[in-house]
Amino acid sequence: MRLSLPKRIYFISDVHLGVPHGKRTPDEHQDALISFLRHIEADSSLYIVGDLFDFWFEYRSSVPTSGARVVFELYGLVQRGIPVSILPGNHDIWLGRYLSNEVGLELLPSPTDLTLHGKRVHLTHGDEFNPSLSFTVSRAILKSPLCIRLFRLLHPDIGVWLGRLTSGASDAKARVHPRDDRRVYESAADRLIQNGTDIVVCGHYHHGIELDIYDGKLIVLGNWLRSDTYGLMEDGEIRLMRWKGDRGETVTGPLTE
């Protein structure tokens, strides 16, 4: 248990390290996030709200190498006394002991309800806000011990290839959905805030949103594939920010990607 909360609390999501169809090279992709992580000073904490990895699975003697430099940077933050917590997303549902035991990350379920700076915060990747029957069934299957045991029987190279293939198919299907899906997130946040939540922070949508709802707020974190957006909470107030390579800027209007 943390005895006191840091002054600054950062939130990121949807980095998708190892994505095979990104707009940047793998090195450029990691460099963008690493420059942001090195900006995080003492008296801060970081929450990764799902899909840090485009695919992740821990075998007994190996883990995916995509994003290794970012993982090393996260280890460095923890060693500097900066708490780092991570939630699973729909792409990295199988986060496990390597990240907690060796890297030092705190693994949290999605969703998680926290009190931060006196505010009740609902933290979730967001993929469950509009679940279809196929989503519910596939999620239950993927999280089952039997599925995990069977996947572990695959050679790691085959497992990673299969995971990336599935990831690409999932993204292709998601691109069919209209952008007005944002109303799903607004409606979910509306219900949560009417039931006592102060702030809803989520990812998954890949488009940044900062919206006041009654006396609460919805923050959808965007992504680190193109827009490099994140949430920053100070003194109980949260805002959507954009990383510009060497500094953060407040997002003041509609995001262009």
Query: Mean pLDDT over residues 180-202, rounded?
Result: 92
Positive/negative CA dihedral, 248, 201, 83, 73: negative
d(CA 103, CA 100): 6
Q: Which residues of 101-122 are buried (b: 16+ CB within 10 A; e: fewer)?
A: eebebeebebbeebebbebbbb
- The yes-or-no verdict on residue 98 having pLDDT over 60 is yes
d(CA 12, CA 48): 5
Counting Cα atoms < 13 Å in the Cβ hemisphere of 113 gives 7
Q: What is the pLDDT of residues 47-71, one digit of tens each?
A: 999 999 988 877 777 777 889 999 9
pLDDT band at 182 (very low <50, low <70, confident <90, very high): confident
Residue 172, pLDDT score: 38
Query: Mean pLDDT over residues 1-26, rounded?
Result: 82
Q: Determine if the peptide bond prior to 131 is cis (ω within 30°).
A: no
Higher pLDDT, 160 or 47: 47
8-250 under CATH 3.60.21.10, yes or no: yes
